Structure 1
Amino acid sequence: MSNPTGSGPKISTEKAETTDKQLRKALNVFDIAYLVIGAVIGSGWLFGSFYAASVSGPAAILSWTIAGIFLIFVALSFAELGGMIPKSGAIVRYPQYSHGSFASYIFAWAYLLGAITVPPVEAEAVVTYMSSYVPGLVTSTGVLTLTGGLIAFAFLTFFFLLNYFGVHVMGKTNTGVGWWKLIIPILTIALLLGLFFHPTNFTALPGGFTPYGWAPVFLAIPTTGIAFAYLGFRQGIEYGGEAKNPQRDLPWGTIIGFVICMAIYILLQVSFIGAIDWSKLSLKPGDWADLTSTALSSGPFYQIMKISGIPILMAFAIILLIDAMVSPSGTGWIYTGTSARTFYGMAADGHLPDWFLHLNRWKVPKWATIAAWLVGALFLIPYPAWVYLATFISSTTVTTYIITGASVVVLRRTAPNAPRPFKLPVAYLMGALAFIFAFLIPYWAGFTTYWGVFALILAGLPFFYMYTAANRFGIRRLNAAVLGIIYWIILGLSTWFLIYQDIIVPYNAASASGTALTFSMKYFTPFIIYWVLMLIVTVIFTYIIRMWANEEGKRHISSGWWAVAMLFSVLILDFVGPFSVWKSPPLPFPWDTVTAAIIALALFFWSVYSGILTKDLEIVLKEMGVIKEEK
């Protein structure tokens, strides 16, 4: 069922090495740091503190702190990889170097789903804040109207144009705007702490510091915009091929930018909680969950300052209206470039056509940037509200970070002589912690979010069969297409009937009445059938592709089985844990998190053991001069 070994076109990595050299080298360490700051301080600072407080009350401060500590291990891992092999679209290219095409495709597809949705979510944030003074843009539940959607699309178009005309234009513009994005949140913190602070909000209200218990402290990380806000730390790495001195600037720009942003977000949460005046919101003191039904939902910090009655705060609220357009827009145009470089990186890995590698006259990936604009706009339709998209993005994007810790350890073995200007200390331990923490965040997103993320990631596998495997591993495209279509049919029907109709619909009905489902075989049976069915189908279909593949394809697929196990592990843990649909989950907190960490550690060891020296890595190392060409 396969073509002769070695047949097919030139490896895409070789073609990408040519275009990589043509990218404009225009970014310095400050530009990299401000790419991080500009991406992290976007709509997250405008809405994240509000939604986090509504879920976990004053303990949201811990949510931001825990998420920051967790992600800094991932950021440090990326810092080593970024300094070692600086590439544009790097996030989706590192798995290709350490584990081959199968694992890299799974993570690249998941990352694309997350990255492509950030520009629309930032456009939605701008429009939502605009609704504070322009009626008719959003509904009472925060969903965009037709007019609001058209304005959001106009912002997306602006993000696209700024990127299309050169990284030097976008980079320098972003560095200038970055000063604004630092100053305004810092002034907000100072004004609220100094002029409108209520210490009793932290411990003296009903429920105290943790009014809803400890589980919501972790649930808030992926579902309220916290993880979404922090995810911007990798933006400097994504532009690695366009840095002047990437080995030095990428790691340090990333670390400096992230630490600054983490401190700002924690202080913003403290100031927001302290600034809540319950009497002005007509809420019972300590009723954190009902904050979402108040005027704060359209513009949290703006509304707090507006209703404070303090002249200086009321005047500063006008500045926040301006910032509500500047901060999300800055993040939006950064992520438009990130999405374009994700398309570029997937083409470099051989997962997309080579024309995504083509550059325009300003040395920007031409068709990749156009695709980022148009595909991103499609997400305004199914997710016309900020918090829905933020949760989706956090879950899909953090899922892709799981491989980072493993890649660091594998590349220490397969490329020991590669330059590492920033070298992670105790790499095995730090890599394991990065892996575990990245595994926990999509798990904490909860079953009602992850079931959709899981299905969408699996929906990408037929594209791997039909495109990557056919082009690189000699699979006959017709055979792969038949398998892929059958896979889509099974996935679609089983997800709709066994998960959505049998579990999600009853859960939504129960939630509408303020309750949850009682754990029973009525709901457990369809889930187990679904989980076992999709596991069997995924393994068998992928194994058939492996049987048809050439020797390189067999190695690549064997190196990626752990990634499939990771996806299915998160799904079953989510179903039985406290972040699911149950009144009383069979695996309660904190034992669920302990179990998840143990499973993640086992997957880490499997992923490290599975790492291989790929042709793609050899090509890159030869280009860098690490491996000498044979004469």
Structure 2
Amino acid sequence: MSTPSSLTLEGKLRRDAGIVGLLFASTTSMIGSGWLFGAYHASRIAGPYSIGSWVLGAIIIMLIALCFAELAALFPRSGALVHMSHASHGEGLGRIWCWLLFLAYVPVPAVEAEAIVTYANNYLPWFLRPGSSGLLTLPGFVACAVLLGVMALLNLMVVRWLLNVNSTITWWKILVPLATIAGLIAASTHWDVLQAAPGTYKLSGMFTALPAAGIVFSYLGFRTAIDLGGETANPHRDIPLAVIGAVVLAAIIYILLQVAFIMALAPGDLAHGWANLSFKGEMGPFAGLAATLGLGWMATLLYIDAYVSPGGTGLMYMTGGSRILFASGEMQAGPRALTRLNGNKIPWFGVLVMWVVGVLFLLPFPAWQQMVNYITSVTVLTYGLGPVALMVLRRNLPDLQRPFRMSGAGIVAPLAFICSNLIIYWTGFKTNNFLFSLVAIGFVLYALHYHFIARRNVHDFGWRHIAWLLPWFGGLWALSWLGGIGGGRGVIGFGWDILIVTLWSIVVLVLALRSSLDASETSRMMANMNKTS
């Protein structure tokens, strides 16, 4: 059997990324199209409790980010998320995880491209089919494919130039929300709106709004700095600072946006309850609200941002996804061609795959409207491995020098794992049924290919180290079906569902730790990976 240590890579990545470049790479991945709609949808679901939703979302994501911050400093290479799974549970899990990561990354540029085209349809009304709920026409499909092509071409630049372009975009993406916050609060006259329309929202909405309103989706993206870990000269310092800094910065902006949005509402806007809150503006809820307050300048600014924010996020996800593919080829979880670099030391073949598959995600199939929920669920699923890998490495390699060492890992890591599973559960059965069906089909096809077509050694498949995935994925699937969210049976009520998911998460975590590599196997895997860096 060939091992990662046997790889001879096509070349080495350039280490041009600095702390500001990494920080802004994660920040622009987090502040995308989600902020334009998140506050509005959260208000409809949770009313004033929506402020708590953003705070809770920030706490959950920070717990997860802290785990990844320590891990990232141990794996200072591009596509490090793939390497983490190899170190904790071996090559079998690594192969599965790299393609789960790919499924999480590849649709995001496509979603952001479609968001841009959807906004453009207000002025160029031939991109969407009339009365089709956003279905792309052929010109609309071509426009999205071209936008994805532009993102891909920009990704072929020297990484320093790419991050300089992104830094300019990120300054815009930070300043526009801050201007929106200041403008809405200054124009607000109804400061008692927090007590308006009582009885039209529930405390449970504060939790279900996390996935349903796009709150978690809006916080996704902090891992971009990790994906670029092999392209910074000082990864041990820069990556943890960039990851944690991006989460803090995004949390401050999102929470203040929600406060400003609610404060700018008038009692008349809530005459029919929070769930029926709506605006006539075609440019989105913030622009519609700005128009009602006579803030024409803000509406114009927000409309421009509707192109810039999604474009910047799509650009960085194209970057992160290509690095995941690079690491997949590096660890032999995918074709070796994925490690091919161009003259700028950019993984051009990975960028090409991201563009081609991203275009395929634009095809108008019935589940497209649920794609944001799908992205949230599959991405958080990939987040769940971080806390597990951290606990395995703390146990197997206790004396390993850690450039960044998180305090209280024995508490933070299990909490992060539990929170990841709760977010997946709150996404609802309809989305999770699609997700886990896709995962199950993909795994069966992969196993059949491995055993009967490739005829590789059964022992090398790693069944002993991946068996715990069945109770994890299967348990969440079953609990989602029994719950009352998004098409579930409603057998488990609110409160009890949180308790049961928490207890099941603890059981799965115990199984994961028992199924992991032992100390000698982890050391050997780490040594092999160091030879590829």
Aligned mates of 1:617, 1:124 — CA distance in 2:
45
Do structure 1's residue 596 and structure 2's residue 505 form an aligned pair? no
1:220 maps to which residue?
A: 209
- Aligned AA (1:594): L
- Aligned AA (2:60): F
Aligned mates of 1:591, 1:107 — CA distance in 2:
31
Q: Equivalent residue of 2:125, what SS?
A: coil
**Of 44, 50, 67, which residue of structure 2 is paired with 1:60?**
50
Tell me, yes or no, if the aligned pair for 1:177 and 1:330 is still in contact at 8 Å: yes
**In 2 relative to 1, CA 623–349 (structure 1 residues): closer, same or farther, beyond 3 Å?**
closer
| Larger CA deviation: 382-391 vs 332-341 | 382-391
Tell me, yes or no, if the aligned pair for 1:124 and 1:144 is still in contact at 8 Å: no
Aligned mates of 1:278, 1:156 — CA distance in 2:
42
1:531-570 aligned within 5 A: 549-550=458-459, 552-553=460-461, 556-570=462-476
Aligned mates of 1:442, 1:417 — CA distance in 2:
34
- Aligned AA (1:363): K
| Sequence identity percentage | 32
Q: Equivalent residue of 2:492, what SS?
A: coil
Aligned mates of 1:398, 1:609 — CA distance in 2:
23
Tell me, yes or no, if the aligned pair for 2:94 and 2:333 is still in contact at 8 Å: no
Aligned mates of 1:180, 1:394 — CA distance in 2:
25
Q: What TM-score, normalized to structure 2? A: 0.93
- Aligned AA (2:134): V
1:611 maps to which residue?
A: 516
Do structure 1's residue 27 and structure 2's residue 3 form an aligned pair? no
Aligned length: 528
Do structure 1's residue 392 and structure 2's residue 374 form an aligned pair? yes
1:301 maps to which residue?
A: 286
1:176-575 aligned within 5 A: 176-207=168-199, 211-277=200-266, 279=268, 285-291=271-277, 294-296=279-281, 298-309=283-294, 313-382=295-364, 388-465=370-447, 470=450, 475=451, 477=453, 549-550=458-459, 552-553=460-461, 556-575=462-481
Aligned mates of 2:384, 2:355 — CA distance in 1:
27
Tell me, yes or no, if the aligned pair for 1:103 and 1:563 is still in contact at 8 Å: no
**In 2 relative to 1, CA 104–201 (structure 1 residues): closer, same or farther, beyond 3 Å?**
farther
2:134 maps to which residue?
A: 143
Q: CA deviation at 1:448?
A: 0.9
Do structure 1's residue 39 and structure 2's residue 29 form an aligned pair? yes
Q: Could you list the runs of 5+ residues in structure 1 that have no partner in the other structure?
A: 1-7, 481-547, 626-631
Tell me, yes or no, if the aligned pair for 1:296 and 1:303 is still in contact at 8 Å: yes
Aligned mates of 1:245, 1:363 — CA distance in 2:
18
1:109 maps to which residue?
A: 99
**Structure of larger gyration radius:** 1
| Larger CA deviation: 111-120 vs 387-396 | 387-396
Q: CA deviation at 1:436?
A: 0.7
1:145-160 aligned within 5 A: 145-146=136-137, 147-160=139-152
Aligned mates of 1:135, 1:196 — CA distance in 2:
34
Q: Equivalent residue of 2:260, what SS?
A: helix
- Aligned AA (1:196): S
Aligned mates of 1:413, 1:214 — CA distance in 2:
39
Tell me, yes or no, if the aligned pair for 1:89 and 1:345 is still in contact at 8 Å: yes
Aligned mates of 2:60, 2:406 — CA distance in 1:
15
Tell me, yes or no, if the aligned pair for 2:154 and 2:162 is still in contact at 8 Å: yes
Q: CA deviation at 1:180?
A: 1.1
CA-atom RMSD, angstroms?
Answer: 2.4
**In 2 relative to 1, CA 392–197 (structure 1 residues): closer, same or farther, beyond 3 Å?**
farther
Q: CA deviation at 1:284?
A: 5.4
Q: Deviations over 1:524-576 (max 9, x none)?
A: xxxxxxxxxxxxxxxxxxxxxxxx613x44xx321111112111011111111
Q: CA deviation at 1:78?
A: 0.3
Q: CA deviation at 1:233?
A: 0.9
Q: Deviations over 1:278-313 (max 9, x none)?
A: 65xxx6525333346x4356422122212322xxx2
Aligned mates of 2:66, 2:493 — CA distance in 1:
32
- Aligned AA (1:202): L
- Aligned AA (1:477): I
Do structure 1's residue 167 and structure 2's residue 159 form an aligned pair? yes
Tell me, yes or no, if the aligned pair for 1:109 and 1:457 is still in contact at 8 Å: no
Aligned mates of 2:201, 2:15 — CA distance in 1:
50
Tell me, yes or no, if the aligned pair for 2:283 and 2:303 is still in contact at 8 Å: no
Q: What TM-score, normalized to structure 1? A: 0.79
- Aligned AA (1:299): G
- Aligned AA (1:596): V
**Of 579, 582, 589, which residue of structure 1 is paired with 2:485?**
579
Tell me, yes or no, if the aligned pair for 1:573 and 1:596 is still in contact at 8 Å: yes
Q: CA deviation at 1:622?
A: 6.2
1:125-140 aligned within 5 A: 125-138=115-128, 139=130
Aligned mates of 2:406, 2:416 — CA distance in 1:
12
| Larger CA deviation: 609-618 vs 56-65 | 609-618
Tell me, yes or no, if the aligned pair for 2:197 and 2:273 is still in contact at 8 Å: no
Q: Could you list the runs of 5+ residues in structure 2 that have no partner in the other structure?
A: none
Q: Deviations over 1:164-218 (max 9, x none)?
A: 22322211111122111111101100110111353333222242xxx33222222
Q: Deviations over 1:64-118 (max 9, x none)?
A: 1111111111100000011111121112221111111333333332221111011
Q: Equivalent residue of 1:54, what SS?
A: helix
Aligned mates of 2:292, 2:523 — CA distance in 1:
58
**In 2 relative to 1, CA 388–623 (structure 1 residues): closer, same or farther, beyond 3 Å?**
closer
Aligned mates of 2:530, 2:115 — CA distance in 1:
42
Aligned mates of 1:385, 1:476 — CA distance in 2:
32
Aligned mates of 1:421, 1:177 — CA distance in 2:
31
Tell me, yes or no, if the aligned pair for 1:14 and 1:619 is still in contact at 8 Å: no
Q: CA deviation at 1:414?
A: 2.6
Q: CA deviation at 1:328?
A: 1.0
Q: Equivalent residue of 1:233, what SS?
A: coil
